[in-house]
Amino acid sequence: MNADSLDGRLLFAIPKKGRLFDKCLSILAGADIKFRRHDRLDVCLVQNHPIALVFLPASDIPSFVGKGNVDLGITGHDVILESQMQKHVIEELRLGFGKCALQVQVPEAGPIKTVEDLAGKRVVTSFEVLAGEYFGKVDERQQLTGEAATKIEYVGGSVEAACALGLADGIVDLVESGDTMRAAGLHAIATVLETEAVLIKSRIPKHESHTDLINLVTNRIKGVVAASKYAICQYNVPREKLSAAIAITPGRRAPTISPLEMGGWVGVSSMVEKKKVAQIMDELVATGAEDILVFNLDNCRV
């Protein structure tokens, strides 16, 4: 595929592998962005929109969006800060997946219990910028300068092994489930930041002709993200208990209320957070609601 075949197309960067890849494919499917990616090709054309998907390492995507010709991208919030591209890109939308924490970790059985204990010692990480900024503030509080300051060393992988192999006194690394950290005998003593996947665009529009398409794709992805967070809860409740029921299911703006042929009852339909569904149903039952049904959403516009 040559550059001529991309002329006039919106360029959308997607992580080519790693923890965000599968979820990104699900987001694209939910937004009805249809494509077929051939083996070994990192660029493919979308079949139903003038869009080209560019599969890149997540760590490179902020630079391609902020300084290159790529219009949209999905990457991690942590990657934007680490690449120091926050002045060049806009975080258009938090996507609700890829959530993890960048944490300071040390051997659980060791003498270091706080970041102040670790200050002035050796820290290994693949997040040099963020770790450097964090420990720079710690060193400043501890009045450590020059040779006495914390030593930050970069490694590209297997960061969790650095303490056991004698390379570091502590590490700064991403923690999702914590299984890898515990297996290496480490525990967290501080959190540098919380992160998740984000949809980004350039602060300076590259192609004015793509504005409408960027808005279309963004709104579709917003709908997919909202559908993953919310469900529809429908139930019947006596009219005299409606106020108490609505307090439980206020909806995003307001619930839909319909009178029933059975006198004194109304039907209610409301969007509720999926993570609270069981609790909401219990509270509705206690209020006197009946025929409570919950439906998942495939997509929506909110």
| Residue 235 structure tokens | 């139930």
What is the β-pairing status of strands 122-125 and 186-195?
unpaired
CA distance 81 to 136: 16
Closest CA to 127 of 172, 167, 160: 172
Output 50 or 177, whichever has higher pLDDT.
50
Q: Of 17-21, 98-102, 256-260, where does mean pLDDT reach its minimum?
A: 17-21
Higher-scoring residue by pLDDT: 41, 260? 260
Q: Distance between CA atoms of 51 and 71, rounded to whole angstroms?
A: 10
Residue 156: the pLDDT is 87
Could you give phi then psi for residue 145, rounded to 5 degrees? -135, 165
For the segment 239-259, the average pLDDT, to the nearest whole number, is 95
Confidence of residue 299 (pLDDT cuts 50, 70, 90): confident
What CATH homologous superfamily does 100-195 map to? Periplasmic binding protein-like II (3.40.190.10)
pTM for this predicted structure: 0.85
Q: Which helix (H) or strand (E) holds 292?
A: strand 290-296
103-141 confidence digits (pLDDT tens): 999 999 899 999 999 999 999 999 999 999 999 999 999
39 band by pLDDT with thresholds 50, 70 and 90: confident
Confidence (pLDDT) at 5: 56
Q: What percent of the chain clears pLDDT 70, i.e. is strictly above it? A: 98
When pLDDT is averaged across residues 232-243 and rounded to a whole number, the result is 96
- Output the pLDDT for position 6: 72
Record the tokens describing residue 202, joined without a space.
Answer: 């350039």
pLDDT at 171: 95
Query: Residue 301, Cβ neighbours under 10 Å: how many?
Result: 9
Nearest to 58 by CA among 83, 36, 41, 33: 83
CA distance 95 to 167: 36
In CATH terms, are 3-97+197-206 and 100-195 the same topology?
yes
- Least confident range from 30-44, 119-133, 157-171: namely 30-44
The answer on pLDDT for 3 being more than 70 is no
CATH-assigned architecture of domain 230-296: 2-Layer Sandwich (3.30)
What is the CATH code for 3-97+197-206? 3.40.190.10
pLDDT at 40 over 80: no
CA distances from 239 to 47, 235, 254, 283 (A): 51, 12, 16, 17
Residue 206 confidence (pLDDT): 82
Domain range list for the chain: 3-97+197-206, 100-195, 230-296
pLDDT band with cut points at 50, 70 and 90 for residue 2: very low
What is the C-alpha to C-alpha distance for residues 161 and 183, in angstroms, rounded to an integer? 10
